[in-house]
Amino acid sequence: MTSSNGGQVDINSGTRRQAVAVDLGGTWLKCALVYDDGTVRSSRRIATPTDGRESVLSALRSAISEVAEAAGGLPAVDAVGIGSPGMIDGDGYLHGAAVNIPGWADFSIAGELERRLGRSVVALNDANAAAMGELRFGAGRGMHDIALVTVGTGIGVGIVIEGRPHAGKGGVAGELGHLVIHPEGRLCSCGNRGCIEAYASASGMRSLVRELADGFDDAASELAHAARSVSNDLTAEHIYRELRNGDPLAAAVNETVCDALAHAAAALAVTVAPERIVFAGGIMGSADLILPRVRERFERLVLPHVAGSVELALAGLSSDAGLVGAAAAARTVQ
């Protein structure tokens, strides 16, 4: 297993117990055997079915059973864990809908998989799974309480307290993407205005570029010129590449993004009070341009003692964080 910067993760020999872990996403379903030292093997990746809950559950059962065969079958693995989008409570029940998976709404993920597999299953929110991975093998190693903020299409937040994933009542703990920080602000996909996600997510950033572009002429900003091109599909990588080139529109967008992420960190710091808040996601490839500004704003939003008690850091794991975290959660919670 490698870290996000390409270095090897320092792992112990462990007892070499094996869990089956699943990272379920709107596009891909990943399933693998995960040793208790964090090693991932026998990995499978298939397209997530788009024709309803039963098809997804059937694909999960098949993938879990197939991967378990590499360990001698399901009875030979010590735990089964799945990280899934959505508000999932401590019993593995999904409240409301995971909007990126059709039909994935209002049911017990853990219960349905247990019925199909004939053994216990731990289900948790995918951000909580990634946070567990960071706690055990990444930027939170050696700690007890951490929070993970993932910046992607939306904003995902995972919380671990005393070494266990924290879902809260109804699975709503960590739903900070839709915390309003600017009343009457930008329209969010949830229907509210001024949510963190409307400013700091990848989708929010794209619309923000186009919204602000009118204030910059083509000669001053290459990014503004690109935003006015109907055929141009703006990405976070494009925005931060232009920021490194000194583009003023990119700088304005980054200021807005960092302010929103600082508000998320401040909310976590004064409620959860984690030892470390870890940031992950595609835009963190430009963490050197983001985290110092987030820290600066964070320190303005909280009391000095709070600012001095919470570290802000870059995530340490690669895309396997959800898998190793789901396995760790399954061993911890069951």
Catalogue all structural domains in the chain, each as residue range(s) with its CATH number: 18-138+319-333 (3.30.420.40), 146-314 (3.30.420.40)
Average pLDDT on 182-211 reads: 94
The one-character DSSP state at 8 is: B
User: Within 10 Å of residue 7's Cβ, how many Cβ atoms?
Assistant: 9
CA distance 164 to 250: 38
Average pLDDT on 193-215 reads: 95
CA distance 37 to 33: 12
- In 3D space, the residue among 12, 19, 98, 25 whose CA is nearest the CA of residue 319 turns out to be 25
More confident residue, 6 or 111: 111
**Which residues are CB-contacts of 279 (< 8 A; sequence separation ≥ 6)?**
148, 149, 150, 151, 261, 287, 290, 291, 294, 312, 313, 314, 315
* Pair 315, 126: CB distance under 8 Å: no
- Model pLDDT, residue 291: 98
- Model pLDDT, residue 186: 95
Instruction: Report the mean per-residue pLDDT for the chain.
Output: 93
pLDDT tens per residue across span 189-203? 899 999 999 999 999
pTM summary value: 0.92
CA distance 268 to 296: 16
Distances (CA, A) of 174 to 87, 155, 178, 213, 317: 9, 10, 10, 32, 20
3-state secondary structure of 212: helix
The one-character DSSP state at 173 is: T
- Confidence check: pLDDT of 8 > 70: no
User: Within 10 Å of residue 76's Cβ, how many Cβ atoms?
Assistant: 12
Strands (E), 176-326: 276-280, 311-314
Q: Which amino acid is at 288?
A: D
pLDDT > 90 fraction of the chain, expressed in percent and rounded? 89
CA distance 218 to 228: 9
Picking from 61-70, 205-214, 229-238, 253-262, which range would have the lowest pLDDT averaged per residue?
Answer: 229-238
